[in-house]
Amino acid sequence: SQKIEQNSEALNIQEGKTATLTCNYTNYSPAYLQWYRQDPGRGPVFLLLIRENEKEKRKERLKVTFDTTLKQSLFHITASQPADSATYLCALDNSGTYKYIFGTGTRLKVLA
Amino acid sequence: EPEVTQTPSHQVTQMGQEVILRCVPISNHLYFYWYRQILGQKVEFLVSFYNNEISEKSEIFDDQFSVERPDGSNFTLKIRSTKLEDSAMYFCASSAPGDGPAFFGQGTRLTVV
């Protein structure tokens, strides 16, 4: 069956450290993968998109990697701040369809 | 910065009533989506829409649901006869042509009583 798995437990880290979040998928062939941030009661906010032929993408303190052999994406936030506390969602298409499927999300808490 | 806007922000309806949720996508986007999120659960795909027709839909999107682009700016989701289990946040999203990301609105919280 098709699955997208993210760390279901909350991730607590100290301010200034690097947070690393994982997204693993099974039985999908995504053309690209997206990462979103979601705050309570709000809509997902787009952060980064990485294509299947890209290994790594960066934007300011954010970095995403995509390994289609391992079927995994890693999302890193460097020099984390309490304002980075939120739920982070990965989403992927399936073979280029316009149907983005979301993982369950990982709740990140950055402690001051 | 352009954004997706949704109205109303909160709707309470009686079971069995029809509701229409409204969205104004980003103006140069051509792909439109509805998602829902039941409290404490993940964001679930309902439907995608392009060129005035449904591109993809999930098993959730049954005959009780319909979508429409009634004019050049609005995109609507209609639920014909609401059930208690339809209570959720409903998010509209849009994306530009090509493999761009989807941009989401702030959602409509639907409560069916």
Rounded to a whole number of angstroms, the distance between the first and last alpha carbons of chain B is: 37
DSSP state of A84: G
Largest CA distance in chain B: 41
How many C-beta neighbours within 10 Å does residue A44 have?
29
Q: pLDDT tens digit string along B16-37?
A: 999 999 999 999 899 999 999 9
Percent of chain B with pLDDT over 70: 100
Q: Give the rounded distance of the alpha carbon of B21 from its chain centre.
A: 7
Is the dihedral angle over the CA atoms A107, A98, B39, B74 positive or is it negative?
positive
What's residue A81's pLDDT? 97
Mean pLDDT of chain B: 94
* B75 lies within 8 A of chain A by CB: no
How does residue B1 score in pLDDT terms, banded at 50, 70 and 90? confident
Burial class (CB in 10 A: 0-12, 13-18, 19+), A112: exposed
Q: pLDDT tens digit string along A83-104?
A: 999 999 999 987 777 788 999 9
Candidates B43, B48, B49, B54, partner chain A, best to mutate (most A CBs within 10 A): B43
* B91 lies within 8 A of chain A by CB: yes
Peptide bond into B70 cis (omega under 30): no
Would you state the structure tokens that stand for residue A100, as one six-digit string? 């983005």
The minimum CA-CA distance between A111 and chain B, rounded to whole Å, is 23
What's residue A98's pLDDT? 77
Q: Which chain B residues have a beta carbon less than 8 Å from that of A50?
A: none
Between CA A27 and CA B25 the distance in angstroms is: 31
Q: pLDDT tens digit string along B62-79?
A: 999 999 998 878 999 999
| Residue A83 φ/ψ, nearest 5 degrees | -65, -15
Mean pLDDT of chain A: 94
Would you state the structure tokens that stand for residue B95, as one six-digit string? 């994306």
What's residue B97's pLDDT? 81
What's residue A30's pLDDT? 87
Nearest CA among A64, A109, A110 for reference residue A91: A64
What's residue A44's pLDDT? 97
Q: How far is CA A83 from CA A44, A77, B61, in A?
A: 16, 12, 36
What's residue B98's pLDDT? 76
What's residue B44's pLDDT? 96
> Contact, A67 vs A54, CB < 8 A?
no
The minimum CA-CA distance between B14 and chain A, rounded to whole Å, is 22
What's residue B72's pLDDT? 79
How does residue A1 score in pLDDT terms, banded at 50, 70 and 90? confident
Q: pLDDT tens digit string along A27-64?
A: 988 888 999 999 999 999 999 999 989 999 999 999 99
Instruction: Map residue A71 onto helix, strand or coil.
Output: coil
What's residue A97's pLDDT? 76
Between CA B93 and CA B105 the distance in angstroms is: 6
DSSP state of A55: S
Instruction: Map residue B2 onto helix, strand or coil.
Output: coil
Amino acid identity of residue A6, one-letter, is Q
